[in-house]
Amino acid sequence: MYNLELKIKDLARQKELSMRKICQKIDMSENGLALGLRNNTIKLDTLSKISEVLHIPITYFFTDSTDLPTVEVGKVQETKELAYPDAELVKYKKALHRERKRNDRLLAIIEQQAKH
């Protein structure tokens, strides 16, 4: 099973970024990120922001593989196709679906409040 905390810390170390710097870039407290990673309650939106900061596809976090995508400085980024078990893909799709439904509900609430 993948470990988000280890993957993020390992990538940060490889890219010479501190966890503090990552947290600043994603506008999140270090304690909040550490708690979310430790309890495995981190939001998909947060993972997306982290993947942008680390210049990796978000799918990397949902694999058992530790193979990093190929990145060449000054050139268009090319990534290896990341292989992961079907069960992990299903879990990832379900998480995306739940997040989308949640965002749709929040948007409906905001739109309704804006009308009043």
Long-range CB contact pairs, 57-62, < 8 A, 24+: 57/82, 59/84, 59/92, 60/7, 61/2, 61/4, 61/7, 61/8, 62/2, 62/88, 62/89, 62/91, 62/92
Structural domains in the chain plus CATH codes? 4-82 (1.10.260.40)
Give pLDDT tens digits for 11-70.
889 889 999 999 999 999 999 999 988 888 888 889 889 989 998 888 888 776 655 554
What is the rounded CA–CA span in Å between residue 65 and residue 78? 17
Q: Which of 31, 43, 57 is nearest to 106 (CA)?
A: 43
Which is more confidently placed, 15 or 116?
Answer: 15
Q: Is the pLDDT of residue 78 over 70?
A: no
